[in-house]
Amino acid sequence: MLFSNLIKDKYLRVIAIISLLVLFLAAIIFYLALGSTPAPIIIHFNEYNGIDFLGSRWDVFGILLSTLVMILINLFLSNFLYNRERFLSYIFVFGCLLISILILVVISVIINVN
């Protein structure tokens, strides 16, 4: 099985599910707030220079997709290293949770700027 070590460890399973749910929540919040906006979306804003990067809603969904890929890679590495170094496996899974929370903050900022 692909993630057999993550499934059998209770803590890793719960944190992995929470991180994926937080990322899914960020996608839903963005879609409900700015999903139907045809205008360009401000993705990066600098205090000194103003707007640095404009993009479409698909660019933001690209950010979410790349985050999902990073989380899946971290979960794969956590599963692979579980039998050798369990502590490193926990670090990878908690890193997934941290990445998900940071992306939720980024999506909130993008929504607030627009």
- 54-71 per-position pLDDT tens digit: 888 888 899 999 999 999
Using a cut of 0.85, tell me whether the model's pTM lies above it: yes
CA separation for the pair 73, 70 (Å, rounded):
5
The predicted structure's pLDDT at residue 57: 84
Residue 42 has pLDDT above 90, yes or no: no
pLDDT > 90: percent of the chain? 52
As a whole number, mean pLDDT of residues 66-81 equals 93
Q: By the 8 A CB rule, do 16 and 6 touch?
A: yes
In the chain, which residue ranges form alpha helices assigned H by DSSP?
4-8, 10-34, 57-81, 86-113
- Asked if pLDDT for residue 20 goes beyond 90, the answer is yes
**Mean pLDDT confidence for 76-101:** 92
Mention every residue, 6+ apart, whose C-beta is less than 8 A from residue 46.
52
| Cα 17 to Cα 26, 37, 60, 64, 74, distances in angstroms | 14, 30, 22, 16, 13
